[in-house]
């Protein structure tokens, strides 16, 4: 099977500003991506997907008819477009506007202004999402690993499953918060737990504490995937016994490296 490269990648650029569109197209061309369709609104982007398809979407946050968050959520709700990587470009820095995009599974968020190097890094991450290497574990067959995915966002759970599934993992169980996860852990054996930090009822830190101190699977590897930025909170999570912490949006290469370290 031919591997995707930047030169063979087909992109859809969603940007209402003609000036910004020209700048981004010039950067994409310099990196080697020349198969680019453009749209100036969310509706036009969805229409372009129906007509021409794409390998990835690059979008501004604020569009005339919706936000980039609305666009990625509309994509993820359609089985045809749900697997497509989504890169957000925005000067927005407020958590409440960016976190829904992270939760929906954006592969990268590029702040404005950005240069060719930052764009190239985001696109390399996109290639990892589209064509990742399978895990190679000496002691485990990835397809037989039992994985518990814990996140209150169904979109985030779907994204995590998609990334791990592309690496060869196949056996997933889902929970919407830490309390549900603990109930499942008491009834079933898991080889790996992947959990969010911020959740209702029981957050990721309390879940890790309970797993380590009061469950029958105290040694199970736990990967925390989070957009939490508070260093004190993350330090407390690390002390509680999490195996590894990975940022949202997370890179398949980074997740693969962490999993290999955790499962050795």
Q: Which of 96, 130, 164 is the last residue of a domain?
A: 130
Do 161 and 122 belong to one domain?
no
Peptide bond into 254 cis (omega under 30): no
In a domain, 115, yes or no: yes
In a domain, 159, yes or no: yes
Q: What is the pLDDT of residue 1?
A: 43
Peptide bond into 172 cis (omega under 30): no
User: CA 169 to CA 162: how far, in whole Å?
Assistant: 9
Reduce the DSSP state of residue 60 to 3 states and report it.
strand
Do 12 and 74 belong to one domain?
yes
Give the single-character DSSP code of 212. Answer: H
For residue range 84-142, what is the model confidence (pLDDT) as tens digits?
Answer: 889 999 888 887 888 788 777 788 888 888 888 888 888 877 777 676 665 565 556 77
- 65 or 76, which is more confident? 65
User: CA 163 to CA 82: how far, in whole Å?
Assistant: 12
Q: Which of 81, 106, 130 is the last residue of a domain?
A: 130
Supply the pTM of this predicted model: 0.63
Q: Average the pLDDT over 43-52 and give the result.
A: 95
Do 80 and 10 belong to one domain?
yes
Q: What is the pLDDT of residue 27?
A: 92
User: CA 116 to CA 118: how far, in whole Å?
Assistant: 6
Q: What is the pLDDT of residue 24?
A: 93
Average confidence score pLDDT of the chain: 84
User: CA 186 to CA 184: how far, in whole Å?
Assistant: 5
pLDDT greater than 70 at residue 250: no
Cβ contacts of 233 within 8 Å, gap of 6 or more:
197, 205
The CATH number given to whatever domain includes residue 169 is 3.40.50.2300
Contact 158, 84 (CB under 8 A): no
Structurally, how many domains does the chain consist of? 2
Q: What is the pLDDT of residue 12?
A: 96
Q: What is the pLDDT of residue 246?
A: 79
For residue range 167-203, what is the model confidence (pLDDT) as tens digits?
Answer: 888 899 999 999 999 999 999 999 899 999 889 999 8
Q: Which of 78, 105, 130 is the last residue of a domain?
A: 130
In a domain, 42, yes or no: yes
Do 149 and 122 belong to one domain?
no
pLDDT band (50, 70, 90) for residue 264: low
- Neighbour tally for 144: CB within 10 Å: 11
Domain of residue 182 covers 142-263
Do 124 and 146 belong to one domain?
no
In a domain, 1, yes or no: no
């Amino acid at each position: 099977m031919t591997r995707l490269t930047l030169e063979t990648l087909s992109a859809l650029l969603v940007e209402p500003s003609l000036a910004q569109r020209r700048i981004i197209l010039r950067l994409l061309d310099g990196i080697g991506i020349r198969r680019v369709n453009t749209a100036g609104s969310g509706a036009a982007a969805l229409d372009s997907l129906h007509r021409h398809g794409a390998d990835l979407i690059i979008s501004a946050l604020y569009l005339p008819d919706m936000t980039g968050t609305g666009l990625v959520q509309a994509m993820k709700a359609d089985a045809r477009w749900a697997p497509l990587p989504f890169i957000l470009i925005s000067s927005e820095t407020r958590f409440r506007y960016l976190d829904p995009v992270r939760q929906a599974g954006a592969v990268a968020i590029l702040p404005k202004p950005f240069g060719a190097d930052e764009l190239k890094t985001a696109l390399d991450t996109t290639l990892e999402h589209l064509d990742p290497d399978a895990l190679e574990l000496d002691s485990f067959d990835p397809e037989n690993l039992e994985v518990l995915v814990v996140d209150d966002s169904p979109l985030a759970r779907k994204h995590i499953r998609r990334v791990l599934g592309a690496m060869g993992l196949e056996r997933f169980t889902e929970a919407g918060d830490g309390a549900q996860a603990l109930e499942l852990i008491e009834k079933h054996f898991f080889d790996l737990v992947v959990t969010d930090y911020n959740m209702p009822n029981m957050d990721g830190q309390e879940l890790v504490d309970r797993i380590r101190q009061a469950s029958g699977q105290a040694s199970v590897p736990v990967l925390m995937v989070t957009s939490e930025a508070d260093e004190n909170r993350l330090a407390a999570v690390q002390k509680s016994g999490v195996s590894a912490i990975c940022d949202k949006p997370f890179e398949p290469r980074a997740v693969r490296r962490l999993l290999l370290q955790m499962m050795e």
